[in-house]
């Protein structure tokens, strides 16, 4: 086995070395992998056949991870900007020079503007513990501005917790026991591909699969029943389902009586949510809604599977809060294979001591300023912010592609009084705006522990090869920066193994390392709420939530149209824009700059995203396949080619998300998207975006 802390042990050997690791990408599957290393070079990467979830398969992008690791376009030395911000013009510098300059700038910003003028911004580019968490020890020690909420994932949990009192939910592998699986707003076959065999096995054993999605995805293609509501109308559909279930007496009377709070209020509340009313809002047929409700209420065990996508709306919290009411109404939690399956990251969180990892105690009695992560564009351009952000540190994310309202964000990045450091593997759209770019290792080059949110296996990742060029891990960069700043707090310099050991107090690290993974605890009978007890204030599933009322939100599940869809806005911008993940060869914005992956996705060397619309809409605008169109709203404008599709509904268009801006002329999908905050949970309403589509002249 390769050494944990001395990757030189795995280099320079004559005979091939086999090294186990875990995929780090922002993907629920967290596949186990096996790297073959010859003479210090990774020559093969394949799925670990012993991994209980991924079972030996990776995916079309990570099958090429070695190419990506050794790509000519890797950043392998520190770089200093020599051209205008965004130009991509840099010169090589040494690590010593880079660290001295960064430390000097950081100290100057803190002395001049206070520590709150410094903003660390990280993402799930590598969702391992050290990569994501250890850097915050330094930022806690400095007392800089912190961010709350998340571009992805926070709202789904916050929504469910308002009904169930917890983010914990059903392990998706329990779908093997289901007889009805409703996949709601998730493209399982693409974005959670290793769960699909479980769903197929359930179908072979007699389960039916229903997919509800505003896009006819490749998962919808495989469904026994596909329901395609208009974007953002799902809560109306759920309320009508409740109406039918209660009207027809199909609720689980005994379970509702014993384990829920507020049934009578809910019953009165949904009385006028007739299928007819919801059908008009959702663009569905009445009998479609009635049949869905009846099938859900009369099939046992019945599971709903969802992940993150539906949270990206102004009322994203309400979507998940309302969805969580459905299993309670029909008593689905009674059954093995029944309930609501979402991210299982909350189960994994139970074994991670995040305080030991990030050390908030290093703040002492300081209380850092807290801002909303999803409002980065506003944060960097808001002249009223005191102090303004003058130093920005970015790792594990590419906000110029992933953050909404990109064109406003661009203005922030262009500020000459903003010192920006980006720790990255490639010269991303974001890195092009940095003053200093630092080379980052890939998962093949660094040790870590990688949690999963699609299954219950916590994976060890062994460093398979020495760092490429002068790359270092996120953790090591923050150790070096702490040293350059002259800090002496021992916690800032702890080695990887010590940090991992303290962060996983109930896990035997040696055993984890030797066995490559460990399954985190989960109820043995497969039923997370088999006893009907929920950690809410009432101990019950709360159809009525006083906690929500206290937040100024409706206490009962409530449908509201997005503010962005106001009639005057719909007149100006008549199309609802979706920006889905639909590329098999991209993972968020990773891989999308690599020509092989671009060609595979685009089908030509031309590259770049495209606008999908249905034939009827294209014809009405005198457009055709391949025509150039301008897609615009008050936030931005993007010029693209049309692709005619039958996967959308009239009035709905889509731009696949993930392409970098330098892959084509013009902005990115997020140049158009809304950066409005969600109702609660600190997420973002990307999918509430309206646009105008017109022929490009």
Residues that bind ligand SF4 (CB under 6 A): 23, 25, 27, 29-31, 54, 58-59, 62, 193, 587
Our CB check for ligand SF4 shows the closer of 191 and 632 to be 191
Long-range contacts of 625-630 (CB under 8 A, 24+ apart): 627/695, 627/696, 628/695, 628/696, 629/693, 629/694, 629/695, 629/696, 630/693, 630/694, 630/695, 630/696
Our CB check for ligand SF4 shows the closer of 23 and 199 to be 23
DSSP string, 538-558: SSSEESS-HHHHHTTS-SS--
Q: CB of residue 195 vs ligand SF4: minimum separation in angstroms?
A: 10
Our CB check for ligand SF4 shows the closer of 30 and 474 to be 30
Our CB check for ligand SF4 shows the closer of 62 and 484 to be 62
Q: CB of residue 17 vs ligand SF4: minimum separation in angstroms?
A: 21
Q: CB of residue 567 vs ligand SF4: minimum separation in angstroms?
A: 42
Our CB check for ligand SF4 shows the closer of 64 and 676 to be 64
Q: How distant, in Å, are the alpha carbons of 38, 154, 261, 533, 541 from that of 334?
A: 53, 27, 17, 11, 13
Which H or E run includes 53?
Answer: none
Rounded-to-10 torsion of CA 229, 231, 232, 235: 10
Which H or E run includes 130?
Answer: helix 129-133
CB of 251 within 8 A of CB of 329?
yes
Our CB check for ligand SF4 shows the closer of 348 and 633 to be 348
Q: CB of residue 172 vs ligand SF4: minimum separation in angstroms?
A: 14
Q: CB of residue 63 vs ligand SF4: minimum separation in angstroms?
A: 8
- DSSP alpha helix (H) spans, 283-422: 286-298, 316-323, 325-329, 345-349, 354-358, 376-381, 399-402, 406-413
Bridge partners (DSSP) of residue 684 are 677
Our CB check for ligand SF4 shows the closer of 455 and 635 to be 455
Q: CB of residue 22 vs ligand SF4: minimum separation in angstroms?
A: 8
Q: Is 534 helix (H, G, I), strand (E, B) or coil?
A: coil
Q: CB of residue 21 vs ligand SF4: minimum separation in angstroms?
A: 11
Residue 513 sits at φ, ψ, to 5 deg, of -65, -40
CB of 302 within 8 A of CB of 179?
yes
Our CB check for ligand SF4 shows the closer of 180 and 587 to be 587
CB of 202 within 8 A of CB of 317?
no
Q: How many CB atoms lie within 10 A of CB 650?
A: 13
Q: CB of residue 60 vs ligand SF4: minimum separation in angstroms?
A: 8
Q: CB of residue 315 vs ligand SF4: minimum separation in angstroms?
A: 29
CA distance 189 to 191: 6
Our CB check for ligand SF4 shows the closer of 129 and 653 to be 129
């Amino acid at each position: 086995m390769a050494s944990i802390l001395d990757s030189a042990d795995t280099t320079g050997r004559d005979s091939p070395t086999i090294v186990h690791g875990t995929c780090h990408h922002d993907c629920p599957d967290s596949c186990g992998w096996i790297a073959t290393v010859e003479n210090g070079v990774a020559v093969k990467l394949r799925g670990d056949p012993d991994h209980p979830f991924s079972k030996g398969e990776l995916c079309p992008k990570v099958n090429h991870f070695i190419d990506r690791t050794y790509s000519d376009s890797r950043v392998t030395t520190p770089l200093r900007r020599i051209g205008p911000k965004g130009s991509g013009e840099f010169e090589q510098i040494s690590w010593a020079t880079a660290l001295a300059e960064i430390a000097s700038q950081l100290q100057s910003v803190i002395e001049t503007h206070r520590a709150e003028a410094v903003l660390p911004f990280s993402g799930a580019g590598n969702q391992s513990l050290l990569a994501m968490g250890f850097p915050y020890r330094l930022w806690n020690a400095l007392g800089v501005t912190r961010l709350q909420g998340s571009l992805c994932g926070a709202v789904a949990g916050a929504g469910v917790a308002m009904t169930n009192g917890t983010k914990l939910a059903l392990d998706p592998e329990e779908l093997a026991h289901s007889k009805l699986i409703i996949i709601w707003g998730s493209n399982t076959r693409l974005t959670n591909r290793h769960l699909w065999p479980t769903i197929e096995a359930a179908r072979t054993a007699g389960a039916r699969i229903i997919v509800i999605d505003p896009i006819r995805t490749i998962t919808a293609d495989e469904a026994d029943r596909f329901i395609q509501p208009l974007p953002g109308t799902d809560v109306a559909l759920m309320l009508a389902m409740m109406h039918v279930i209660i009207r027809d007496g199909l609720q689980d009377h005994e379970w509702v009586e014993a384990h829920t709070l507020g049934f009578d209020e809910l019953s009165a509340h949904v009385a006028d949510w007739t299928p007819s009313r919801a059908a008009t809002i959702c663009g569905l047929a009445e009998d479609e809604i009635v049949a869905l409700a009846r099938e859900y209420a009369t099939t046992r065990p019945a599971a709903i599977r969802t992940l993150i996508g539906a949270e990206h709306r102004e009322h994203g919290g309400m979507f998940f809060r309302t969805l969580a009411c459905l299993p309670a109404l029909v008593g689905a939690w009674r059954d093995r294979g029944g309930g609501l399956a979402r991210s299982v990251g909350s189960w994994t969180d139970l074994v991670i001591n995040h305080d030991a990892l990030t050390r908030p105690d290093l703040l002492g009695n300081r209380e850092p300023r807290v801002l909303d992560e999803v409002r980065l564009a506003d944060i960097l351009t808001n002249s009223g912010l005191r102090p303004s952000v003058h130093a920005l540190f970015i790792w594990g994310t590419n906000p110029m592609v992933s953050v909404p309202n990109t064109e406003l964000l661009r203005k922030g990045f262009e500020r000459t009084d903003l010192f920006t450091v980006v720790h990255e593997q490639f010269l991303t759209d974001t890195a092009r705006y940095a003053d200093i770019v630092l080379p980052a290792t890939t998962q093949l080059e660094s040790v870590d522990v990688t949690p999963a949110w699609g299954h219950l296996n916590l994976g060890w990742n062994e460093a398979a090869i020495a760092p490429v060029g002068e790359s270092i891990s996120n953790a090591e960069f923050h150790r070096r920066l702490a040293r350059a700043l002259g800090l002496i707090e021992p916690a800032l310099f702890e080695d990887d193994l010590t940090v991992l050991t303290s962060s996983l107090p109930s896990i035997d690290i040696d055993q984890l390392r030797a066995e490559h993974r460990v399954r985190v605890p989960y109820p043995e009978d497969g039923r997370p709420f088999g006893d009907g007890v929920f950690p809410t204030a009432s101990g019950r599933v709360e159809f009525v939530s006083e906690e929500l009322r206290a937040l100024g939100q409706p206490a009962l599940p409530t449908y509201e149209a997005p503010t962005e869809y106001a009639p005057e806005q719909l007149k100006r911008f008549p199309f609802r824009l979706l920006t889905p993940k639909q590329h098999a060869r991209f993972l968020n914005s990773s891989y999308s700059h690599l020509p092989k992956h671009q060609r595979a996705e685009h089908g030509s060397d031309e590259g770049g995203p495209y606008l999908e619309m249905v034939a009827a809409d294209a014809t009405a605008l005198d457009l055709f396949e391949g025509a150039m169109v301008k897609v615009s709203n008050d936030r931005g404008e993007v010029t693209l080619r049309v692709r005619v599709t039958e996967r959308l509904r009239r009035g709905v268009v889509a731009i696949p998300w993930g392409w970098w801006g330098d892959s084509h002329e013009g902005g990115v999908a997020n140049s158009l998207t809304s950066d409005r905050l969600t109702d609660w949970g600190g997420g973002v309403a990307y999918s509430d975006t309206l646009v105008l589509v017109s022929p490009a002249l």
